[in-house]
Amino acid sequence: MNIDQCIKKIDRYLKKTNVQPFIVDVPSKEILHRLVTNYNVGDNIFRDASFYCKADEYPKIDTLLNDVAKERRCIFITGLSSFLKLHGEEYVKESLQNILNMTIIGRVIFITYQCKPFLLINDPRIQPRVCIVDGLSDNIPKIIFLKDGSLLSKKDVLIDGIQNISFIVEESNYDLVCMKTNKTNLTYPKSLLFIVTINNAYEVLLQYDLTTAQLKETLGNDEQWKYALSLFRSKSRWEDVIDSEFGNHKNLELVMPSFSDFSNEKKWLFFIALHLFGAKNNWCLDFASSKAKSQEDLIRQIYRGLLDISYKNSNFEDYYMSRKQIVSYLKNTNDEIADYCQLLLSRGKEAIYYLTDNSDREKEYIFFLLDKYAFEYTKEYIMSALKIVYPDLYDYLQPFNFNNDFLNTYFQSYKYQKICNKVFSEFEKMVIEQSEKRDYNRLLPKRSSKIETIRKDKSMLYFVDAMGVEYLSFILSVCKTLKLMAKVTVCSCELPSITSMNKEFLNLFDEENIVNIKEIDDIKHHGKHNCNYQQTKLPIHLSEELAILRRVLLRIKENLLDGKVQKAILVSDHGASRLAVIHETENIWEMSQKGKFSGRCCLKSDTDVQPDYATEAGSFWALANYDRFKGGRKADVEVHGGATLEEITVPVIEITHNREEIEVYLMPINTTDFHLDTIPEITVSYRKKASVKVFVSTNVQNITIRINRKIYTPISMESNFYYFEMPDIKKAKTYIVDVYTDDNRIAEGLSLIVKKEGASEKNLL
């Protein structure tokens, strides 16, 4: 029935005597309000069930019913049904049935709220005392029970105590109400009201944004979830919070350069952001976040994620570089790096592929592996790995062309043995042979004769103590990166190979134009940076030496760019030998004088007989093998003073800055133009030699090309074109060509297709 019909029915009830309780059920607050307004007049009593509640307690129903049974006046009871609903459907039905069967003195009207399903009574004796008002039902608010009201923001509705249930359900217009109470939803397991219990900040976040359900509560502690909750004070979604803190939840990898500077709270939030949104543009970060169980575990998974990928995987290098980039942003992770390196022991010789040059610990471990597996690794395997994991060491090991096969072989072998921390017997035979032959006397010009010919105006001399020719490949690689042009002349120093005997070139320069760099020599003599041979047998000092040379070249570029000088001349007094240190042998000859410079030389005496493998060096004997004279203290890292090739061979490097971009193109010798989008093709036959011409956009000197490690010089040149013949190239295939000016590679990886003249086209290798 409608409200008007209901009012008429209530009016008839109020005029009767000897009555039992009357129930009116309403569907909405509006109708409830109309009834209250209509009847809250005169002597009528209106009482809410909460009147019988203590703070945060359920109403005392027995007391309520006892009071209304004895009341002689007309009394209206509201709110009771909302309390009854806390105990479930059967309880509501039973309670309402009991009310209808009560014996009372006066007249009692219970106004229930949305209880129609529980009042469908077929008993004709009771049915007249039940009035159900038709109409649209209001929504019942969602109720959140919580103990700690501080978890909520000011915008949240917070009501104190369970005694306010009837107000929330029947009077308020809220969709969601938070109730501070010691009760939980487990207190009322059959409740017909929608109740959720919140015990902590995480559960509050579940109410704010359903996306929170994707996050396990164990991903953070209560303080961390409270921190996240504080960010929701002005936001309503995780996307908004993350965008506000990190810029864009779709590009979280862009945040990593700043990660180490974040507070611990913000690092944790970033971990949560990754769990929610991933990092689709960076494999390592995305993979690690999917496996990590905590903020701390995220760092561990970043380090270890690569171990799930085989180094033979065709995409391994992409995975590797993704990880290396992320790891490079992490700071203060030495313990994690140490654990990671220890874990790599299980990978055996393959472990080298899973290291980077980001940290000293990892670089040390690379040298450890090179030493441990020196006789199991092939040179090709080492170069393949180092190209990815340690590019500087890879560049160091690249061959430098001395324009002499013996020197090429010697120094390439020397560098390989240095990084592997071994002296191979075949190489030692070569050293002993040279201690007697001393081919360097005819192969190498004296340094002084070269420096005298160099123009010194507008030049700066960089005197790098103990810089041998072993570093030339690395120096040229860095020069290429820095767009520096280097002209190298390989020379010999004076014997013995000590600084005091090799400073004649300093007199050729004004003092203000000389830069002295002692750092490499300090490492070799004093074991700086924990490189002392008595503490570690590994050649870890090489890492720092390469870093020093890079800094020197950067400094040179700055000075060239400033226009202070037009040329830098990089010169060394002598080289040094690592192999003489790890050989650890003394000369059997007893000399009258003690060994000097770690025993690599000693003063001559009239009573001495020239020792085997020693050469006269003025007033000294200088050893040309890997022994040391007795009496000399053991070397810390490397030695000099002797006459091995690595000790006496020194570079003179003239460096200028190339301000122009050099373009290089290959083309058949009989064409006049080149096509950028096609590979040039040439033909060969029994009578026709392979030939090609090279276009170089800038005027440079001493152009050469290298194919299969063989160097070809031009047979002629015209303007910017250089003409080459390669008579030994006869096989039809695709060749890779590198182009050099002096020792600078100005183009690499250029393809050249060679075909047989008159032959049908075949698949080219």
Residue 737 near residue 751, CB atoms below 8 Å: yes
Q: Is the dihedral of CA 19, 20, 25, 29 positive or negative?
A: positive
Radius of gyration of the chain, Cα coordinates, nearest whole angstrom: 45
User: Is the domain of 533 the same as that of 483?
Assistant: yes
Residue 534 within a domain: yes
3-state secondary structure of 3: helix
Cβ 695 vs Cβ 674: under 8 Å: yes
> pLDDT per residue over 138-196, tens digit each?
999 999 898 887 777 666 788 999 999 999 999 999 888 889 999 988 999 999 999 98
Per-residue pLDDT tens digits for 9-42: 999 999 888 789 999 999 999 999 999 999 999 8
Q: Per residue in 306-321, pLDDT tens?
A: 999 999 999 999 999 9
pLDDT of residue 249: 94
Assess whether 575 and 426 both reside in one domain.
yes
In the predicted structure, residue 483 carries a pLDDT above the cut 60: yes
Closest CA to 455 of 499, 479, 487, 478: 487
HSE toward the beta carbon, residue 282, CA cutoff 13 A: 24
Q: What percent of the chain has pLDDT over 90?
A: 72
Per-residue pLDDT, 154: 62
- Listed residues 132, 148, 182: the one ending a domain: 132
Confidence category of residue 357, pLDDT binned at 50, 70, 90: very high
pLDDT of 763 higher than 50: no
Alpha helices in 344-485 (DSSP H): 360-372, 379-389, 391-397, 405-420, 425-437, 440-443, 447-453, 472-481
Residue 429 has pLDDT above 50, yes or no: yes
Split at pLDDT 50, 70, 90, the class of 529 is low
The two tokens of residue 168 are: 């929330």
Three-class secondary structure of residue 633 per DSSP: coil
Three-class secondary structure of residue 202 per DSSP: helix
Question: Do residues 551 and 687 share a domain?
Answer: no
Q: In terms of domains, do 438 and 525 share one?
A: yes
Are both 524 and 647 inside the same structural domain? yes
**Whether residues 57 and 113 fall in one domain:** yes
In a domain, 154, yes or no: no
CB atoms within 10 A of CB 698: 15
Q: Is residue 205 part of a domain?
A: no
One domain, residues 229 and 240:
yes
| Residue 765 contacts residue 733 (beta carbons within 8 Å) | yes
Q: Which of 502, 497, 525 shows the shortest CA–CA distance to 601?
A: 497
Q: Give the whole-angstrom CA distance, residue 554 versus residue 558.
A: 6
Domain-embedded: residue 265: yes
Q: What CATH number is associated with residue 114? A: 3.40.50
DSSP code string of 679-735: --EEEE-SS--EEEEEEESS--SSEEEEETTEEE--SEEETTEEEEEETT--S-EEE
- The confidence score (pLDDT) of residue 607 equals 61
Beta-carbon contacts of 531 under 8 Å, excluding residues fewer than 6 positions away, are 523, 540, 541, 544, 636, 637
Residue 638 placed within a domain: yes
- Among residues 634, 549, 643, 577, the alpha carbon closest in space to that of 414 is found at 577
Q: Closest by alpha carbon to 650, among 501, 484, 764, 458?
A: 501
Most confident range (mean pLDDT) of 459-473, 655-669, 677-691, 695-709 is 459-473
Question: Is there a contact between 279 and 270 (Cβ–Cβ < 8 Å)?
Answer: no
Q: What is the pLDDT of residues 606-617, one digit of tens each?
A: 767 787 888 988
Cα–Cα distance for residue pair 482/657, rounded to 1 Å? 8
pLDDT in tens, 180-221: 999 988 999 999 999 988 888 898 898 889 999 999 999 999
Tens of pLDDT, residues 320-330: 999 999 999 99
Residue 63: inside a domain: yes
Mean pLDDT, rounded, of the chain: 91
Give the count of domains, the chain: 5
Do 651 and 665 belong to one domain? no
Domain that holds residue 398: 391-659
- What are the backbone dihedrals phi and psi of residue 363, each rounded to the nearest 5 degrees, phi first? -65, -40
Pair 77, 226 in one domain:
no
Confidence of residue 765 (pLDDT cuts 50, 70, 90): very low
User: Does residue 762 lie in a domain region?
Assistant: no
Going by pLDDT thresholds of 50, 70 and 90, the confidence category of residue 528 is low
Q: Would you say residue 764 has pLDDT above 50? A: no
Q: Is 684 part of a structural domain of the chain?
A: yes
Strands (E) in 69-175, as ranges, are 74-78, 107-113, 130-132, 142-146, 158-160
Cα angle 358, 329, 479 (rounded to 5 degrees) comes to 50
On whether both 436 and 516 belong to a single domain, the answer is yes
Give the pLDDT mean for 416-445.
91
Measuring CA to CA, which residue among 276, 208, 211, 201 is closest to residue 245?
276
Q: Point out the domain boundary residue: 606, 627, 659.
A: 659
Q: What gap in Å lies between CA 207 and CA 197, rounded to an integer?
A: 10
Same domain, 289 and 254: yes
On whether both 449 and 464 belong to a single domain, the answer is: yes
Domain endpoint, select from 345, 363, 389: 389
